[in-house]
Amino acid sequence: MLAAMNYVEVLKSATAIELAVLVLLAGASAWSWALIAMKWNQLRKARTESVAFLDVFWKASRLDAIYTESQKLEASPLSRVFRAGYEELSKLAQHKGGDAAMSDKLGGIENVERALTRAALAEITTLEAHVPFLGTVGSTAPFVGLFGTVMGILGAFNEIAEKGNATIATVAAPIGNALLATAAGLAAAIPAVIAFNSFVSRIKIFDTEMSNFSNDFLNIVKRHFFK
């Protein structure tokens, strides 16, 4: 049983390769958990503030009022996309001296659309930061653990061959210790894979929401400023 294992003795009897594998997996696991906590908190705040922003956006009657409220919702990707579009719209209005002929110069609505697209891409890049590391840990940690196990078993068999003693008692302990690396690999990989899949799914939802919001914002701008 795992509870009955003496981990200190296991580490003392481990080879240099086994120790290196265990240290590597422990570091990867610790960093994965830190990233999971950080990314979960980031996405939670992004979701909460995005819901609040959409409520403000659809209830307000003036874009400048929405812009003021959006500055209080820094964690929302939708809020930042809106500000990028609004700021570009304001530049066009100032440059052209009013709203009457906004569609006649400087690309008009295309400038606003490009600003929204750039902002959405920047938000996706921010949301995806560090997520690939979790995918890497999830896909490679089992193989790293298996490598440590294989090397441990090879070392155990070499030691048995040198001593000429192949009883169950002499074989079981070193092979059991070697299998600890595989267990460590799985322990590092499973949470990373679960978190990676969850984060990717949630980021895709944000991507879709930003695309839909950009289309809605462009439609409003076309109706009111690009006639």
What stretch of H or E contains 107? none
Mean pLDDT within 72-92: 91
Q: How many domains does the chain have?
A: 1
* pLDDT band per the 50, 70, 90 thresholds, residue 77: very high
On whether the CB atoms of residues 134 and 199 are closer than 8 A, the answer is yes
Assigned token pair, 202: 């949630």
Query: Of the ranges 56-70, 120-134, 166-180, which is most confident?
Result: 120-134
Q: Provide the residue range defining the domain that includes 54.
A: 2-225
Query: What pLDDT does 1 receive?
Result: 43
What's the pTM value of the predicted model, to 2 decimals? 0.82
Per residue in 143-165, pLDDT (tens digit) is 999 998 888 888 777 777 776 66
Give the DSSP letter string of 70-102: HTT-TT-HHHHHHHHHHHHHHHHHHHHTSSTTG
What span, in angstroms and rounded, lies between the C-alpha atoms of 71 and 1?
Answer: 56
